[in-house]
Amino acid sequence: MYPLKFEPILKQTLWGGDKIIPFKHLNSDLKGVGESWEISGVEDNESVVANGPDKGLTLADMVRKYREELVGEANYARFGNKFPLLIKFIDAKQDLSIQVHPADDLAKKRHNSMGKTEMWYVVDADKGAKLRSGFSEQITPKEYKERVLNNTITDVLQEYEIKPGDVFFLPAGRVHSIGAGAFIAEIQQTSDITYRIYDFNRKDANGKTRELHTDLAREAINYEVLDDYRTKYEAVKDEPVELVACPYFTTSVYDMTEEISCDYSELDSFVIFICMEGACKIKDNEGNELKVGAGESILLPATTQDVTITPEAGNVKLLETYV
C-alpha cells in the first residue's frame, strides 16, 4: 500500500463562494463552490483515488479490498467497510443555516447512521467573519421552539469573530452555524445528517423557504451552556500540537519550517494529512513519496510505519487526523 490522493468532490451551493478553486489550484471555472469533499466514504459521494495502481477505485472499494491494512484492525472491527471520517473544505459567501447533528444513538435509531461529531479549523476569514457555536444562556426545549418560531433563536447563541488558526470542536448536539466570509477545514464522522433549525427566513429563486427540522432538532440538542466554546491551544513551530482528542478522531496541527519524522509504528489507524498552507514532500518507510500543497489531502494506510515530512520553500502548515 502507498499514500493516497483523491479527486475532490466539488459542491456548488446557494451560499458558496470563490475561494476553494484558487486555494486548491484547480483548473475549473465552476462558480459558487461551497464545499470540497476531500476524503469521503459517504454513499453516492465516495472519493475516487487519483494516484498509483489503485487510481480510479472509490474509497469504499479500497476499504473492501484492503480492510485492516487500510484503516487498522480496531477501526475495521468497529466500522466494518464504512470509512469513519469525512474531510471537507467549506467556503461561506453567505451565512449558512443554524443547525445541529444527532449523536450516535439517535442517528442509529432514526437514520441507521453514525452520528456527527465534527471540528472546524479556520483556514481564512474575511474581516468581521463569524462562527456560532453553542448557547450563550440557558434555555429549555420549549423556549427553543418558541424562539425558532418568533425569529429570536440567534439571540441566545454564542457568536465569535474568527481569524486563521481558530479551532472549534463541535460534539453532536451542539447548535452551530458558519457565518459569511468564513473559510474552514472540517473533520467529522462519516454522516450527512443535518437538522436545519433556522434559515433566516431566506427564500430561493422560486420564493420558497427551505425545510426546517424544528422537532427533530429539539431532541438532538444538548442544552448545556459553556463559558467558552473555542478550542484554545498554544501554537508551536516544528512539532505537532494536539487540537482535539475525542472518541471519533484525534487532530493535531503541524506548523513547520524544518523536516520532521512521524513514527506510526504503534498506531492502529490510517492517518490523514490536510495541507493548510505551503507545500511539502511526505515520504514513507517504503520509499513512497508524494508532494502535498495547500488545499490537498492525503491518506496514509494503517500499514505505514513512519513518514518524513520535508517543507518546500519556507513554511508549511498541516492538519493530521486519525481515529
- The 3-state DSSP composition of the chain as helix, strand, coil percent (nearest 5) reads 15, 40, 45
- Dihedral sign for Cα 302, 304, 308, 311, please: negative
- Three-state DSSP at 23 gives helix
Helices (H), 19-103: 20-23, 59-66, 68-71, 73-79
Could you give the C-alpha distances from 85 to 190, 201, 206, 251, 267, in angstroms and in order? Answer: 5, 32, 35, 12, 17
CA distance 62 to 40: 12
- 176 assigned to a ligand binding site: yes
CA distance 296 to 5: 8
Which grid cell is 43? 454513499
Which grid cell is 40? 469521503
110 labelled catalytic: no
- 118 assigned to a ligand binding site: yes
Containing 220, the helix (H) or strand (E) segment is helix 214-220
- 111 assigned to a ligand binding site: no
Decide: 273 and 292 in contact? Cβ < 8 Å: yes
Q: How many residues does the chain have?
A: 323
Decide: 145 and 218 in contact? Cβ < 8 Å: yes
Strands 250-256 and 41-42: unpaired
DSSP 61: H
| Marked catalytic residue, from 132, 147, 174, 196 | 196
Residue 142: CB atoms within 10 Å: 9
CA distance 198 to 177: 10
Residue entry with cell 500540537: 241
Question: Which parts are annotated binding residues for Zn(2+)?
Answer: 101, 118, 176
Which residue numbers are catalytic?
A: 196
